[in-house]
Structures are given as structure tokens and as C-alpha cells.
């Protein structure tokens, strides 16, 4: 059942076995998993089915340095389905090494191992519609099809792939299932403004809920899950400070700290010798019909030996802003950058100076390359705009065997990188967020050391050469700041309450019936986009909550009901 929050009587108190705050990928995955297990589920979603400016404004806040971090109302979408309404669909799992305590990654080590998450990856893969849970090239494409022909290395992996979702818009894809579920109620325009604890602070008593129209009511649930994203989950815990003055779960000043995204950028120039057919750099369709792309990265053994964090690279086209690439398609993208969505348009402004001469050269590329440009537009129309499973992004046929490296790396968790509350209030009266995202010199050194291995290994193989500008490396990697809206770590998981917010079951250490789902609980960020792993963790949490509910005295199955406050 999906209804508007305004349909609930003012001042009423809804009851449910499990209440989930947030209807994004994590919250919807949990609701789907819990449905049919014998317990009533209430899902509170702040937004509507479509974008709404007044609701989106609730995400607004301030940043310490806009050069390093975009305003908090960018990237995120406050609507049913969350940011799956705009995501690109890139999926890949974390690696086993990501869960280990690593000397080269301070504050690393998860309280659970890779195997605990891996058993939920296949279902997560199914929910995002990315095909089978197979992330090696030989399984996906068959043997004898390497990334770069005749390149072999004991240090550099070339067998990894990333899979792409449709991309699945969770609100559209799973709306009907949630509407028809007799044990799930979804409330739209329902903003949880506070979590009220019992007087001793050890359990959730009530949730305060409000609409932008001023309608208010409460929720009483046996278990509560905050699934509002890496920034908003911390905000809600910090703002709920009537019983816990520093905020819920913040007895040791950890909530909001260790805020991570990813280190990313385009660096260097890889030149592969021989024919262009020797390189498979673009998107390929796996044997189960899913778009995939190959990647390079260091083996786990090499990471440990070199003392570096985890990162991967993809073979990419040259800088779009430089008209020397002579591509009409890339020049067209550059000139249209202000018409492209914020996340992707930002990457088309890489700090290169704008000039009349530069614009003229871009226009010349378009005029002199009509065949390639028209071919691209036809491909984009048929394979992206009109296709159900969409071609993931712009990847052009490479005519020179020269590639930049599109890098996506783990950011080390820093306690100084954090989300806090400001004195400014939103339309609901909640304090807005203030974000101070920071990276460390060790993040840049991880990239430098990894690139040096790539340089040496390509030279040793004799099949390619790699060059990069070490002096410009930090600027190249921080040009776009905290990349991609991958907000991780603000309510991190751990076994020690002094350095973490939730335990191995994602329960807030100090509160018996309060849990957090999503990338907010990641102790480290890995090389991977977070969506697939946050869904797998949410499914794991749903399984835990179902078993926890079953251990209590059985109660009749019903949809959430209204009772007097």
C-alpha cells in the first residue's frame, strides 16, 4: 500500500513491527525482503513519486569548501526511490581485502568478513537488474578475450569487470509490488523529524513525523531502521538530542565523522602498441545480456606489499575540454555541458581555460566530423534514449590506441572529515547540515604508487607505455572534489563503541531497537561504487530483523494501524 502522509489523522500514532525511514535503494530493498515474513512494515518516505522543489530544498546545507564538495542538495534526490532516480547503474562488489584491517588504511577493518556480505550479493544483483553475480571477464565473456592482448602481470589484475543496471529506478520498478503488499505501508511526504528515546536512552519510544503542509503524527515501532543515506542518517541522529544531548549514538563523538566519498579523475596517457583490435576498452554485452566494462587494479597481494589502498582504472578517451582530440562528439558534449545533469556536466569543466579559439576549434571538430557525430547521435537515440536497457555512457571507438586512465579509488577514513549541524533551519524546523569533506596526502600517494606499478608493468611487458604528470597528480584527482555522491561512513560499523556508531548487525550500540542501513555504516569505502554493497548489507539487516522479530512472541499479521497517541 502506498498512500500520502496527509491521509493519516493529525496527532495519530501508527504502530508497526518494523519502521524504515527512507525509501531509497536501501529502504525499498529492505521492505521487499521483509514483506511476506509475517511482520508489519511501515516505510516513511520524505518525497513524492516525482521530483518536488520544496522537498528537495530540505537537503540544502553548507559546505566548508565548494571546490572540494558540492552543495548537499546536489547529487542526492529527495523523492521515492532516492537517488536511483538519477544513478548511472554501475555495479560491482567490494573485494575481500576491503573488509580486513590494513596497516596502510588507518581505521580500517569491518566487524564482519566478506563472506557475510557475499551471500546477499546475488539477490542484490537481481534487485538492481544487473544479471548474474559474475564479476570476472572470462565468466562474463568467455575465455581468450583479454583487456589488452599479450599483457600479463603478477601485480596488475585485468580480469575484473563492472556490470550495469538498466539502470533500475527503484520507485518505478517496485512500486506495484509495494502497492500490492498487504503487510507493507509506504507513506509519501512523510518526514521523520525526530527519534524520541525512552527516558533512559536505551530504546526508541516514538518517531515524530511531519509533512511540509504542517500535518504531524507519530510512529511507534518495535524496531526502527534509519535508511536515509550517508549524510541524512547522521543528520537525523545528531538532531534527535532531547534525551541524548550530543545526539543519538554520539556518546563518543563519532556520528558524522569518517565521512568518505571516492578519489577520482582522469590521469596520464596509455599508448598501446599495434592495432586497435588489441584493446577491449568499451562496453561489452555479457553472455546474460548485460552491459559490462573491464577494469585494471592491483592484486590484493600487491596492495599489501606496497602499502596502498584499493583503486581501479578504466581506459578512457582524452580530456574532453581539449579540442586536440579532434572528436566532433566530444566537442559537442563539451559545448552542451550546461545542458547536462549536474553530476556529469561538472566533469566537463576540468579547469581548462576557456577561450574564443578553444570554442572555435571545438566547433571545427563538429563541422569536420559529421559522419562520426551523426553515427553517435543515432547510436545514442537507439541504444540509450529509446532502449529499455540503456547504453551506460559515452564511450567512443578509439582510433589511436591512446587512452587516459579513468581512476576510481578508495578514500582513507579520516575522523576530521565530517558532517555536522548548522544553526540554520529548514522548513520543518530541523537543523541543516554542514559538510567538511577532507582527503589526505596518503590518498594521493596510493594513486601515485599504483600508477608507478602500472608504468613499470606496461614497460616490462613491451605492449604499452604509460606516462603521467606526477606534479599535477593531486590537482587532477581533486578537480571534481568528493566524487559521485558516494556518501559513506558517517555512522560506521564496528565492535568498539568508542570508534563506531553501529555494531556488526547495524544496531546503534547504545539503543536496543535502532538500526542504520546503507553506505553510512561502511567503515571503509573500497574502490567500488557503493550501491550494490549497501543493498546487500540492507538485505542482511532485513534478514536479521525478521529473525529477531520471530524470536519475540508471535503477534497477528496486520498492516500498520492507527492508535491514540
Considering the domain boundaries, does residue 63 fall inside one?
yes
The confidence band for 366, taking pLDDT boundaries of 50, 70 and 90, is confident
Does the residue 73 lie in any domain? yes
Q: Is residue 154 a part of any domain in this protein? A: no
Least Cα distance to 537 among 489, 471, 497 occurs for 489
Beta strands in 133-261 (DSSP E): 156-164, 184-188, 191-197, 204-210, 216-226
- Length reported for the chain: 565
Q: Domain of 55: which CATH number?
A: 3.50.50.60
Residue 151 lies in a domain: no
pLDDT of 313 above 90: yes
The tens digit of pLDDT for each residue in 432-455 reads 999 999 999 999 999 999 999 999
What is the tens place of the pLDDT at every residue in 33-56? 999 999 999 999 999 999 999 999
pLDDT band at 345 (very low <50, low <70, confident <90, very high): low
* 453 domain-assigned: no
Across residues 293-306, what is the average pLDDT?
97
**Does a structural domain hold residue 450?**
no
Which pLDDT score is estimated for 114?
A: 98
Is the residue at 288 inside a domain? no
Across the range 332-355, mean pLDDT stands at 62
Let me know if residue 108 belongs to a domain. no
149-188: per-residue pLDDT in tens? 999 999 999 999 999 999 999 999 999 999 999 999 999 9
pLDDT of amino acid 565 = 42
- Distance in Å from the first CA to the final CA of the chain: 23
> Among 91-105, 196-210, 309-323, 507-521, which stretch is predicted with the lowest mean pLDDT?
309-323
Number of domains in the chain: 1
Segment 393-438, tens digit of pLDDT: 878 777 788 999 999 999 999 999 999 999 999 999 999 999 999 9
Helix (H), strand (E) at residue 460: helix 441-461
pLDDT beyond 80 at 17: yes
Of the candidates 279, 317, 312, 295, which has an alpha carbon nearest to the alpha carbon of residue 148? Answer: 279
> DSSP character for 352?
P
- 268-294 residue pLDDT tens: 999 999 999 999 999 999 999 999 999
Question: Which residue segment(s) compose the domain that 545 sits in?
Answer: 1-93+165-259+411-435+487-565
Amino acid at each position: 500500500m502506498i498512500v500520502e502522509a496527509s491521509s493519516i489523522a493529525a496527532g495519530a500514532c501508527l504502530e508497526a513491527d518494523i519502521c524504515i525511514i527512507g525509501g531509497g535503494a536501501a529502504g525499498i530493498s529492505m521492505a521487499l525482503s521483509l514483506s511476506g515474513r509475517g511482520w508489519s512494515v511501515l516505510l516513511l518516505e520524505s518525497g513524492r513519486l516525482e521530483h518536488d522543489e520544496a522537498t528537495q530544498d530540505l537537503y540544502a546545507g553548507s559546505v566548508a569548501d565548494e571546490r572540494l564538495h558540492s552543495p548537499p542538495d546536489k547529487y542526492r534526490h529527495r523523492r521515492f526511490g532516492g537517488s536511483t532516480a538519477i544513478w548511472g547503474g554501475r555495479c560491482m562488489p567490494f573485494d575481500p581485502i576491503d573488509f580486513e584491517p590494513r596497516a596502510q588504511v588507518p581505521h580500517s577493518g569491518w566487524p564482519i568478513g566478506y563472506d557475510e556480505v557475499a551471500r546477499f550479493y546475488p539477490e542484490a544483483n537481481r534487485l538492481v537488474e544487473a544479471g548474474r553475480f559474475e564479476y570476472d571477464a572470462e565468466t562474463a565473456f568467455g575465455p581468450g578475450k583479454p583487456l589488452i592482448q599479450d599483457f600479463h602481470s603478477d601485480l596488475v589484475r585485468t580480469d575484473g569487470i563492472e556490470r550495469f543496471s538498466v539502470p533500475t529506478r527503484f520507485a518505478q520498478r517496485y512500486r506495484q509490488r509495494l502497492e500490492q503488499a498487504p503487510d507493507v505501508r509506504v507513506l509519501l511526504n512523510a518526514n521523520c523529524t525526530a527519534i524520541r528515546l525512552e527516558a533512559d536512552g536505551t530504546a526508541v519510544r516514538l518517531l515524530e513525523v511531519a509533512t511540509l503542509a504542517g500535518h504531524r503524527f507519530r510512529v511507534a515501532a518495535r524496531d526502527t531502521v534509519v535508511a536515509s543515506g550517508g549524510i541524512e542518517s547522521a543528520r537525523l541522529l545528531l538532531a534527535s538530542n532531547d534525551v541524548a544531548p550530543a545526539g543519538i549514538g554520539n556518546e563518543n563523538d563519532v556520528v558524522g565523522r569518517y565521512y568518505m566519498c571516492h578519489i577520482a579523475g582522469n590521469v596520464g596517457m596509455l599508448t598501446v602498441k599495434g592495432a586497435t583490435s588489441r584493446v577491449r576498452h568499451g562496453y561489452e554485452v555479457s553472455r546474460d545480456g548485460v552491459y559490462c566494462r573491464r577494469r585494471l587494479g592491483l592484486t590484493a597481494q600487491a596492495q599489501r606489499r606496497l602499502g596502498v589502498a584499493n583503486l581501479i582504472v578504466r581506459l578512457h578517451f582524452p580530456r574532453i575540454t581539449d579540442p586536440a582530440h579532434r572528436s566532433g562528439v566530444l566537442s559537442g558534449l563539451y559545448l552542451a555541458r550546461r545542458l547536462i545533469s549536474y553530476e556529469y556536466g561538472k566533469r566537463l569543466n576540468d579547469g581548462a581555460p576557456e577561450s574564443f579559439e578553444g570554442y572555435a576549434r571545438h566547433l571545427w571538430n563538429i563541422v569536420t566530423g559529421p559522419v562520426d557525430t551523426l553515427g553517435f547521435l543515432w547510436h545514442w537515440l537507439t541504444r540509450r534514449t529509446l532502449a529499455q536497457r540503456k547504453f551506460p555512457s559515452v564511450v567512443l571507438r578509439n582510433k589511436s590506441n591512446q587512452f587516459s586512465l579513468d581512476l576510481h579509488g578508495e578514500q582513507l577514513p579520516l575522523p576530521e572529515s565530517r558532517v555536522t549541524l548548522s544553526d540554520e533551519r529548514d522548513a520543518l524546523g530541523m537543523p541543516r547540515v554542514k559538510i567538511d569533506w577532507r582527503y589526505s596526502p596518503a590518498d594521493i600517494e596510493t594513486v601515485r604508487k599504483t600508477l608507478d606499478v602500472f608504468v613499470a608493468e606496461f614497460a616490462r611487458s613491451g605492449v604499452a607505455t604509460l606516462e603521467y604528470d606526477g606534479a599535477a597528480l593531486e590537482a587532477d584527482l581533486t578537480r571534481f572534489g568528493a566524487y559521485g555522491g558516494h556518501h559513506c561512513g558517517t555512522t560506521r560499523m564496528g565492535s568498539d563503541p568508542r570508534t563506531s556508531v553501529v555494531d556488526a548487525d547495524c544496531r546503534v550500540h547504545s539503543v536496543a531497537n535502532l538500526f542504520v542501513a546503507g553506505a553510512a555504516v561502511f567503515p571503509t569505502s573500497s574502490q567500488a561504487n557503493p550501491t550494490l554493497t549497501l543493498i546487500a548489507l540492507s538485505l542482511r539487516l532485513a534478514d536479521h530483523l525478521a529473525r529477531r522479530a520471530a524470536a519475540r512472541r508471535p503477534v497477528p499479521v496486520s498492516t500498520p494501524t492507527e492508535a491514540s497517541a
